[in-house]
């Protein structure tokens, strides 16, 4: 059973006037089959956590550990982390000129699975997953994220999530910028993956709206670079009513 363990994680980012600490000791354990919502105000460090786990070079880990089933994630390169089963659905997916979606998906699936998927079953698999996410088949021939609308980019991220079947899925504000229809479609995609029971989900969001579609087992409030409070789904209701004010104004320690 896959388990992601984050212990006392400290992360800095280079800023004018030297490195600035964004994550100040994050502790979190995500097990296969569980869904954890990480909620927090802007600038609290939620996205930094997501990108640090995926290994983005912009962030420097200065302390703490991250392990996946005991393996040191921080020692892995970005692609090794992905192959180990960590998936990050990005808030701002990047345009990649010259690479078609179909070529990208197949190359990625080949890398993650360790062998090229059989063409016939692969074509079917992609087609069905795209239909479920209401993605136009013509998408396959477009360049990755090039000229995609905000909603198309997010659906493309979830398409990858469904095809790559990670052990740990980190969804970084996948709900942001989506209208209600798109939010529902994307959430259904996430739920299909969750229902397999083989993925631990880290759902990072600013809003409670997505939690109406994706029910979390745990809710964590992120503030000032660490988890300020943890609870069950009911904590989201409290945030819905009271907002983040209590956490932003400070004084709250976990």
Partner 1 sequence: MAEAQNSPAPAGSTTTGAIAVAAESGVATRNSAAPSYDVGDFPVPHGREEEWRFTPLERLRGLHDGSAVADGGVRTEVTAPAGVTQETVGRDDPRVGRAGVPADRVAAQAYSAFEKASVITVPKETVLGEPIRIAVHGQGGVAYAHQVIELGAFAEAVVVLDHTGEAVIAGNVDFLVGDGAKLTVVSVQDWDEKAVHVAQHNARLGRDASFKSVVVTFGGDVVRLQPRVEYAGPGGDAQLFGLYFTDEGQHQEHRLFVDHNTPHCKSNVAYKGALQGDDAHAVWIGDVLIRAAAEGTDTYEMNRNLVLTDGARVDSVPNLEIETGEIAGAGHASATGRFDDEQLFYLMARGIPEVEARRLVVRGFFAELVQQIGLPDVEERLLAKIETELEASV
Give the residues lining the site for partner 1 (CB under 8 A).
54-57, 77-79, 81-83, 87-88, 90, 93-100, 103-104, 107-108, 111-112, 143-144, 160, 164
Q: How many helices (H) and strands (E) does the chain have?
A: 8, 12
Locate the DSSP E strands across 124-235: 143-144, 168-172, 200-205, 218-223, 226-231
Provide the minimum distance between the beta carbon of 103 and partner 1 in the complex, in angstroms, as a whole number: 6
- Strand (E) or helix (H) holding 103: helix 101-113
- Strand (E) or helix (H) holding 69: none
Residue 178, classified by CB atoms within 10 Å of its CB into exposed (0-12), middle (13-18) or buried (19+), is buried
Provide the minimum distance between the beta carbon of 93 and partner 1 in the complex, in angstroms, as a whole number: 7
Q: Which is nearer to partner 1, 67 or 102 (CB)?
A: 102
Distance CA 163, CA 173 (A): 20
Q: Which is nearer to partner 1, 172 or 175 (CB)?
A: 172
Provide the minimum distance between the beta carbon of 238 and partner 1 in the complex, in angstroms, as a whole number: 33
CA angle 135, 193, 244 (to 5 degrees): 95
Provide the minimum distance between the beta carbon of 208 and partner 1 in the complex, in angstroms, as a whole number: 27
Q: Which is nearer to partner 1, 51 or 218 (CB)?
A: 51
Provide the minimum distance between the beta carbon of 184 and partner 1 in the complex, in angstroms, as a whole number: 25
Q: Which is nearer to partner 1, 107 or 149 (CB)?
A: 107
Q: Which is nearer to partner 1, 58 or 249 (CB)?
A: 58
Closest CA to 127 of 108, 101, 92, 107: 101
């Amino acid at each position: 059973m896959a388990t992601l363990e984050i212990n006392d994680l400290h992360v800095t980012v280079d800023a004018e006037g030297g490195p600035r600490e964004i994550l100040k000791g994050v502790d979190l354990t995500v097990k296969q089959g569980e869904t954890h919502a990480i909620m927090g105000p802007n600038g609290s460090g939620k996205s930094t956590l997501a990108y640090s786990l995926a290994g983005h070079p912009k962030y420097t880990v200065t302390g703490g550990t991250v392990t996946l089933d005991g393996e040191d994630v921080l020692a892995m390169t970005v692609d090794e982390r992905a192959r180990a089963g960590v998936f990050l659905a990005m808030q701002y997916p990047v345009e990649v000129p010259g690479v078609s979606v179909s070529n990208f998906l197949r190359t990625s699936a080949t890398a993650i699975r360790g062998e090229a998927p059989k063409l016939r079953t692969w074509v079917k698999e992609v087609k069905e997953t795209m239909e479920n996410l209401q993605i136009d088949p013509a998408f396959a021939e477009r360049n990755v994220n090039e000229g995609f609308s905000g909603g198309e980019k997010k659906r493309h991220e979830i398409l990858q999530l469904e095809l790559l079947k990670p052990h740990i899925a980190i969804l970084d504000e996948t709900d942001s910028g989506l209208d209600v229809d798109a939010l529902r479609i994307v959430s259904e995609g996430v739920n299909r993956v969750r229902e397999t029971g083989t993925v631990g989900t880290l759902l990072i969001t600013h809003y409670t709206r997505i939690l109406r579609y994706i029910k979390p087992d745990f809710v964590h409030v992120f503030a000032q670079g660490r988890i300020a409070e943890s609870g069950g789904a009911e904590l989201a209701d409290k945030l819905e009513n009271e907002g983040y004010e209590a956490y932003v104004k400070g004084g709250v320690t976990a």
